[in-house]
Amino acid sequence: MPRVHLLIVCTANVCRSPVVEHLFRRALTSHGLDVDVTSAGTHGGQNVVHRNTVIAAGEIGVDLSQHVSRHLDGDLIENDGADLVVTMTREHLLRVVELVPDAFDRTFTLPELALLSKRHGVDPLTRDVGSWRRAISMGRQRADVIDGGEAYDVEDPYGGPRGAHRRMVKQVDELVSQIVPVLAASVDPPD
């Protein structure tokens, strides 16, 4: 069974990245993959998830009550993001690459990864996350990502009303739902 090793990154690791971490874990596991999905924040560390995010995530069956935020550093990028680092914004992507310069090729914003997955589709020639990642990002340039505009970012609901947290949860749920079937079928194709 293929192993999928992901690191999810946002700002404080108390809203977006914990939700995405749990969604990826749940969806990839349901496709029969062995997964290791963790999350961290560029400014995170020892905080609980925002109460409005806990409520919004709970509405789709994601329990974040035990999550404690972690601070992103180079060791986490190297170890927890061995296959793929998924950020919530282009700013987070830049921070990852600042900490580990050669991580660009395996670091994507969540909306960008969904777009590339949709555009490329299932790849019958890939057998692991690394080869899938290389296939979907053929020709990808830093400038294209940075200049991709706000469409490449997931808005931060922190400090906003409960509705902002619900919109974020809905958005990331839809994006993960677009990525996982393509990723799962590309790294564990049927015999």
CATH of the domain at 55: 3.40.50.2300
For the chain, what is the domain count? 1
What CA–CA distance (Å, rounded) separates 51 from 165? 10
Dihedral of alpha carbons 76, 135, 3, 23, sign: positive
Helix, strand, or coil here: 21?
helix
Instruction: Identify the domain containing residue 127 by its residue range.
Output: 3-187
Residue 190: pLDDT band (50, 70, 90) is low
13 contacts 47 by C-beta, under 8 angstroms: yes
- pLDDT tens-digit map of 2-46: 678 999 999 999 999 999 999 999 999 999 899 999 999 999 778
Q: Calculate ∠ Cα 174-182-85, nearest 5°.
A: 75
Phi, psi angles (nearest 5°) of residue 69: -70, 155
- pLDDT tens-digit map of 100-125: 999 999 999 999 999 999 999 888 88
